Structure formats: structure tokens, C-alpha cells
């Protein structure tokens, strides 16, 4: 169960993004979950940079930030900090001076060895559970899509036979053609 005061699992699941083929969480979202400032989280990561290879953590590009802004807008429906304040540049009024960092599932797991507060440990457990649930949902959807494709193929063939039979029934039978001229049987 989630401890009171920790962010609900649904919030974690909504914060998981897909970029560069990875499911990931942004540093600002992780900082909220861990109950620390974003700059403190990034400082702890930079002190332990050898634990975060590029497939665990990477910095977003300007284009990726612009894509996220377009996709999510400037205010989130769940009441979290807007992307404008997360990604904006500081001009003496606060805000970010650097592009955000993105952490893959492995990077989030590695964060547990860098941030060791009791809240960080509990939050990390909930985040790992959210990643597992997301993976299970994706697997269930993939299984469902495969089953649906098999059913469509099976029923397409059956329906084709039904439609062919209906077309045959709808086609009027051909009447025997009368020949032109006289015949010897007197018809």
C-alpha cells in the first residue's frame, strides 16, 4: 500500500513517458515522488555519474522538450507543476536553467542506491510496481491484439463463404435460351 503523503500510484503511472524507445520518468517528477528538490536529485546523480550510463539516464534535447510541451501543454489536469515551469529557463525568477534528465526503469532502480532516505526507498518501491503494472498491461494488450487478429482471420474466411452463398442465392437462375429458327421437335 502507498504510505499517506506519498504520491498515488495513478500519478506515477501518468508520469511515465515513452521517449527514444524507453519508458521513463523525468527528474522533476522523480523529485516530487522522493520529496526532494530537482536540483538536489540531479546533484546526487552527478556525484554518482558512473552509476548512470546512457541507457539508465539521459538529458532531453530541445526538440524533445518542445515535443513534450506540445503534447502536454502548459498545465496538467492532475494539478501537477506545468511543463512551462518545469522546462522554462530561469531569468532571475526561478525555474530550470538546464534541460531535464530522463531516467529509464533501470535508472530509477539505480536512484535507490543514491537517494537513501526512507521516503525515497518507499517511493522507489511504488515506482517499480508502477513500471511492472505498465509492462503487464502492455503485455495483456499485445495478447489481446494477437487473439483478435486470429479471430478476424478465422471469421473473415467464414464470412466470405457466407457472403458468397448469399450472392449465389441473389443471382437469378439462368433461363434456358430459346434458339433462333425452327427445330425438328416442333417447339
Per residue in 122-158, pLDDT (tens digit) is: 887 888 888 888 878 878 877 777 777 777 777 776 6
Q: What is the helix (H) or strand (E) element at residue 25, kind and residue range?
A: strand 22-26
Output the pLDDT for position 167.
Answer: 72
* pLDDT value for 4: 53
Q: Where are the domains of the chain?
A: 9-135
pLDDT at 77 > cutoff 60? no
For the chain, what is the mean pLDDT?
76
Q: Which residues 6+ apart lie within 8 Å of 165 measured at CB?
A: none
Band of residue 186 on the pLDDT scale cut at 50, 70, 90: low
Nine-digit cell at 14? 501518468
Degrees, nearest 5: CA angle 133-109-48: 160
pLDDT of 107 higher than 80: yes
At residue 87, the pLDDT reads 47
Angstrom CA distances, 172 to 25, 84, 177, stand at 66, 70, 14
Q: How confident is the model at residue 93 (pLDDT cuts 50, 70, 90)?
A: low
Give the residue from 155, 145, 153, 104 showing the smallest Cα distance to 127: 104
pTM comes to: 0.59
Amino acid at each position: 500500500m502507498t504510505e499517506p503523503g506519498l504520491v498515488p500510484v495513478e500519478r506515477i503511472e501518468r508520469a511515465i513517458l515513452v521517449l527514444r524507445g524507453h519508458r521513463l520518468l523525468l527528474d522533476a517528477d522523480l523529485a516530487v515522488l522522493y520529496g526532494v528538490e530537482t536540483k538536489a536529485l540531479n546533484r546526487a546523480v552527478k556525484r554518482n555519474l558512473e552509476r548512470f550510463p546512457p541507457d539508465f539516464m539521459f538529458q532531453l534535447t530541445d526538440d524533445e522538450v518542445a515535443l513534450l510541451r506540445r503534447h502536454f501543454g502548459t498545465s496538467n489536469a492532475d494539478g501537477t507543476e506545468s511543463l512551462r515551469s518545469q522546462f522554462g529557463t530561469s531569468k532571475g525568477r526561478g525555474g530550470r536553467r538546464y534541460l531535464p534528465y530522463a531516467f529509464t526503469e533501470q535508472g530509477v532502480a539505480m536512484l535507490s542506491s543514491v537517494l537513501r532516505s526512507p521516503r525515497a526507498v518507499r517511493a522507489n518501491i511504488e515506482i517499480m510496481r508502477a513500471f511492472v503494472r505498465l509492462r503487464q498491461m502492455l503485455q495483456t494488450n499485445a495478447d489481446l491484439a494477437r487473439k483478435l487478429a486470429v479471430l478476424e482471420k478465422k471469421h473473415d474466411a467464414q464470412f466470405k463463404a457466407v457472403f458468397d452463398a448469399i450472392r449465389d442465392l441473389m443471382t437469378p437462375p439462368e433461363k434456358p435460351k430459346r434458339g433462333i429458327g425452327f427445330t425438328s421437335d416442333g417447339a
